[in-house]
Amino acid sequence: MAHVRLSQPDIGLGLLDEAVQIAETTGERFFEAELYRLRGTALLSLGKKSEAEAELRRSLTIAQQQQAHWWELRAATSLAEYLRDEGRYAEACSVLKQVYDWFTEGFDTPDLRHAKELLDQLNGLASQTQTIQAQ
């Protein structure tokens, strides 16, 4: 989201809140999961971690309920990045792998390439953590 990238997350969050209200008023739900994912991202940039995690999880749940696999992938990737940054590597890997494994094609698309790179990174971090804990 442009406002978040321009260090204006409050403005971006306000616009997202307005978009969510419009979606609720009109009943248009196609982008609902993505709106909540973007809200989570904006909240993260404001340092509101627990609220951000809740919005990312909400995004994932909505995408799953809608069987919107592409939005689900984007939500799972964002949630996994958050969990990685919190040091919750195994949980992050589990969240993302469950969604990533659904796909059977499109692996050259940016979203799936990014998810694969993140999964590889998470697998490495989870392995390192297990090795350190075993010592």
> Computed over its alpha carbons, how large is the radius of gyration of the chain?
16
CATH code, domain carrying 30? 1.25.40.10
Q: Kindly report, residue by residue over 31-84, the tens digit of the pLDDT.
A: 999 999 999 999 999 999 999 999 999 999 999 999 999 999 999 999 999 999
Range of the domain at 97: 2-134
pTM comes to: 0.86
- Total count of domains within the chain: 1
**Pairwise CA distance, residues 69 & 37, whole Å:** 14
- Is the pLDDT score of 2 beyond 50? no
The amino acid sitting at 129 is T
Q: Let me know how long the chain is.
A: 135
d(CA 101, CA 93): 12
